[in-house]
Structure 1
Amino acid sequence: MIEIILTPLIEVFYSKVTEKIIDCYGDRLPFFYNIINKNIYKIGDVRSSIEKINKITIGTSDLKGIYNCCPKVSFKGNLEIEKSTSDAIKEIKGNSAELTDVFGNDTLGVTVEDNITWQSDPIDIDYKSTDFYTIKALRKNGALPHIISGCVLVVCVEEKKIVLHKRSSNSATYPNAIHIFGGAFIGKGQDNYRESEGDEDITRTIQRELHEESRLDIQKERIEKCKISIAEELTTGFLQVTALGLNITKKELEKIRTAPASNNKEGKTVIIGFDDIEKTITGGMFVPTGAAHIILWLGLGAPGTSRKTKFSGKSAQELFSDIVSQKISFPKAFNVL
């Protein structure tokens, strides 16, 4: 009975009050909730919110669910390729116009199989290592390998700002589009840019990518406190694991503002007010998975904010309802393959 009550409660309620209750009361949470349920901020039905978001991003993004922590990843060797892919790799390496990505031929982790158990928490993901040239070759041959990536939605509640990332014109997917911070999970092995054993986990990917794209150094413990959402980017194959609503300080926001743009080869930061979220998402230049995670954050009551926080005079859930009632267009995933 406790498990039946506790699981949907954690899924459906996410606020500072709820977190403190969980920390303090643990397995007594159901009993405690029955006493004070009228005073807890209800943030809506997660499954219903996800279904509404998936309807407006249909064909581009597919949200899988909300989780308490990042998936566990297990290395299963290198990705095997067929001769047609090998031939395409040779063609790519022989064409300097193909070699325009920001960081060259990184090592990436791709999922081994599609039958992931999305109802688990944490999820287990087996992956194989490959490199970016192989990914380009597979895409040229019509495949969209599921690249694991770590992302983060950054907000500054103190300043009522959300911090986004405008992708470089050289980005292989969604060039010049607006997105949340993030990038590919680096699998084990050696590549042309780094010599390492790869990211030890997806939380490390999020931490690394946030530093590369914003210059912020955030402790993993802060990322681990965030709820996790996962979305498949249907247009590119990316499997995006996102920390929802990492709240940074005013001082950290100022560090992002003053970071030299020339130091960021991947694009530039875009800082918008809470009142500008709707027009930014519906403006036609947002990466669909990034939009999906932000809309979900709103549907959850904007974790990290107070109940009094307004978005263009609306509550987070009111803004969520307004956005999911609209038809939203998204940019092309690839200009060329």
Structure 2
Amino acid sequence: MMQLTALAAVADLAKTLPQADAKAAEAALARQNSLTKPPGSLGRLEELAVFMASWRGTARPQIARAQAVVFAGNHGICAQGVNPYPQAVTAQMVGNFQAGGAAINQLCRANGAELSVIALDLDRPTADFTTGPAMTEAETLAAMQTGADAVDVTADVLILGEMGIGNSTIAAAMASALFGGEVAGWVGAGTGSDSEGIKRKIAAIETGLARHKGLSAMGVLAALGGREQAAICGAVLAARAARIPVILDGFICTAAASALYAADPALLDHCLVGHQSAEPGHRKLLTALNKRAVLEFDMRLGEGSGAALALGILRAALACHNGMATFGEAGVSEA
């Protein structure tokens, strides 16, 4: 398994981790162009099939096993009144996931993913980033290692999600620190903050940004992030080491992984974004990452729900790619 020993080493991992398999991608594209359809007529379904081929290293990739992992954490920034719900809700929702009662359970069941939920020290929230770093380097690395260790290297695709009261503030803070711009442009209602709650979120983030300046990308993760954000980063890296494509969820999950992008954009080459969240910062973030979401369904639940829904599209793309007849097999004349 991948062992993460220093935050400063993360930026160099892109040089040693596996790259996309160009030959497999070329063979997959050739197959797409031989199927009984005009070339390119299935649009992004074709692109997704070639993407999967490039990372699984075969012209005809399949999804025999889809793994979904939801990481949960609590945040000291909640002391600043940034969320209308108490932090006890995080543990309560973890229980709901484990009992099978949440949206992510239904979407994983419907789209064929095996779900696990990992709670990270819920009784010990991170520090309030307005007064100091949210996590030490050791705490950040420990959470990243938990995420890395959660990845099943036999999976064909990994779906990532999160749960944590206050973590829409974390996402906006990380995005703002990594990509700049007015803080207000990154901040949304999250779980239902009113206008005063949004003002508190903006004020807390501005205070945090003023306190934590000039940090590296992974330094931003430690100073402003949370354990579930760090775990997401660790899982993304471990998936890359195993050549497993990743489907990120919405704003919070994408913001977590954006620390890796800011360290080296190549670290997210194997990642899709499942959906474009209704959170206002997500569109800006996707532009910054040069990513286009698979779906846009006005969702903003988190939990990995948009990523699990996108898995169904990915399965459909591979069903067409592998199951359609070629012109030669079907006896259909090519133009």
Fold in common (TM above 0.5): no
State the structure with bigger RCO (CA 8 A, min sep 6), 1 or 2.
2
For this structure pair, what is the TM-score category when the shorter chain's length is used for normalisation? under 0.3
Give the alignment's TM-score, normalised by structure 2.
0.26
